Amino acid sequence: MFWQTTRFRIDLAQPKVMGIVNVTPDSFSDGGRYGDVDAALAHCRRLLSEGADILDIGGESSRPGAHPVGVEEELRRVLPVLEGALRLGCPISIDSAKSELMRAALALGVDIVNDINAFRAPGALEQVAAHPSCGVCLMHMQGEPRSMQAEPVYGDVVREVGDFLVARAELLRHAGVAAERIVLDPGIGFGKTAAHNFELLQRQDALLHRGYPLLVGWSRKSSLGALTGRGPSDRMAASVAAALAAVQRGAHIVRVHDVAATVDALKVWHAAGLPGRSGTIGA
């Protein structure tokens, strides 16, 4: 299985690690001066040296309760970092739900658009449909970031998430986006209780029989805190365990903060030759 992106056709026979690069004021900020860009690019290089296969660069916090950022501000934060990151020789993903950001990032040559809103914003679908080859990640979210954790309700969360993702994928395909460009993501933590999230992990195989590769992001999320009683900065072991469980259950790409630890764990998992991932050792 492959993921077609702008510059790279990514082989998903082995699980891939997407490293998270947040370009928000609380991450690499000296108040918007050039130091922010340098710090973000230094972080990119570090994640690559640790074994990241893809870098996901975003300028808006999508944590529960976070307030939306204006387009101009997001462009100002993210574009200089994207420009530098595109010279690092690895696939670069833009984490944004805004069509203006997508247009600017695709014009720079970005490889993947990762949209937590699955291209539901006005003009978003048109941006990727107009591009000949960029990769897209469609993520499920119930509600919107500001209010999504208020009272998430599902009948069957796995079925509803799967049906939504396949419907969005079909819409993109009808708009001209080739199937090989599309990856699905259940959106762990986005309008879901801890119980919903763990059910999505336990029954993750049900999201694989749809023919599209699966990307999953458990890294440092609050469901892991609910289980371990630990805060966001102390969830690395839980995050690595969740990433391994997701890969064991067939995930093709894991989105993580702690690249070095995840890559180490995947090496051991691979050497253990466990079945799973289509039943083939290492496949």
Which residues contribute to the site for ligand 8Y4 (CB under 6 A)? Answer: 58, 62-63, 95, 114, 116, 137, 139, 185, 187-188, 215, 217, 220-221, 232, 255
Q: State the Cα angle at 194 between 192 and 197, rounded to 5°.
A: 65
> Which residue is at the shortest CB distance from ligand 8Y4?
217
Shortest separation between residue 183's beta carbon and ligand 8Y4, angstroms? 8
Least distance in Å: CB of 116 to ligand 8Y4? 5
The SS3 assignment for 167 reads helix
Give me the active site residues, please. Answer: 221, 255
- Residue 186 has φ and ψ, to the nearest 5°, of -70, -10
Shortest reach from residue 215's CB to ligand 8Y4, in Å: 6
Nearer to ligand 8Y4, 195 or 281 (CB): 195
Query: Is 277:205 a contact under the CB 8 Å cutoff?
Result: no
Per the listing, tokens 């029954």 go with: 203
Read off the amino acid at residue 162.
G
- Strand pairing category for 9-11 and 2-4: antiparallel
φ and ψ of 136, to 5 deg: -135, 140
Chain-centre distance of CA 99, in angstroms?
Answer: 17
* For ligand 8Y4, the closer CB: 147 or 283: 147
Tell me if 252 sits within 8 A of 213, measured CB to CB: yes
Cβ at position 179, least distance to ligand 8Y4 in Å: 18
Q: How far apart are CA 116 and CA 270, in angstroms?
A: 29
Residue 248: count of CB within 10 angstroms of its CB: 17
Query: For ligand 8Y4, which is the closer residue by CB, 33 or 248?
Result: 248
Using the 8-state DSSP alphabet, how is residue 108 labeled? H
Whole-angstrom distance, CA of residue 93 vs CA of residue 95:
6
3-state SS class at 265? helix
At closest approach, how far in Å is the CB of 31 from ligand 8Y4?
23
Between 3 and 281, CB nearer to ligand 8Y4: 3
Contact 94, 110 (CB under 8 A): yes
* Interatomic CA distance for residues 242 and 101, integer angstroms: 31
> Between residues 59 and 84, which has the closer beta carbon with respect to ligand 8Y4?
59
Smaller CB distance to ligand 8Y4: residue 47 or 215?
215
Least distance from C-beta 95 to ligand 8Y4, angstroms? 4
